[in-house]
Amino acid sequence: MAKALLLLFTALVIGAGVQTKTINRSELSLLSKSKPNDVLYSTEGIASYYANAFDGRTTSNGEVFDMEGLTAAHQSFPFNTIARVTDLMSGRSVKVRINDRGPYWENRIIDLSRGAAEEIGILDRGIALVKIDVIKWGG
């Protein structure tokens, strides 16, 4: 029932978002070794993604946004926070680095870069119900 409601909700809402920059591949390698008990904070809500219109623009932390990177925008997490974002429908997850502010759409908790959205398979849907696990606080 919950999955059917999510699919219906997803079909009714057009995804949009805010894009961000790339996570360093050596950093990603280190992150892949984190364990589930390394979670510092968790929350659930709607994620969207941002891409073309923001690619090459400056993010809130001063970086140039790379839509194919593994980054995200969050309204309050400190910059450089590392979080695992899991699509609750598919179970797929991606680790991202917070480098921008947003989302600016009501009821959304995170905007993923196009690259991160592709990793968890939400490009076609545009939005998804996700779980965010903070692995490392930035600052």
Instruction: Give the C-alpha distances (Å, rounded to integers) separating 2 from 5, 6, 51, 85, 88.
Output: 5, 6, 28, 19, 10
Residue where the block lists tokens 């699919």: 7
CATH number 3.20.10.10 given to 2-136? no
- The whole-angstrom separation of Cα 109 and Cα 106 is 9
Instruction: Give the C-alpha distances (Å, rounded to integers) separating 120 from 125, 127, 129.
Output: 11, 11, 11
H/E segment holding residue 8: helix 2-12
Domain coordinates of the chain in residue numbers? 2-136
Q: pLDDT tens for residues 70-82? A: 999 999 999 999 9
Beta bridge partners of 93: 86
Across the range 23-46, mean pLDDT stands at 67
In this prediction, residue 35 carries a pLDDT of 54
Across the range 48-63, mean pLDDT stands at 91
Q: pLDDT tens for residues 100-129? A: 999 988 899 999 999 999 999 999 999 999
pTM of the predicted model, to two decimals?
0.74
Percent of the chain with pLDDT strictly greater than 90: 65
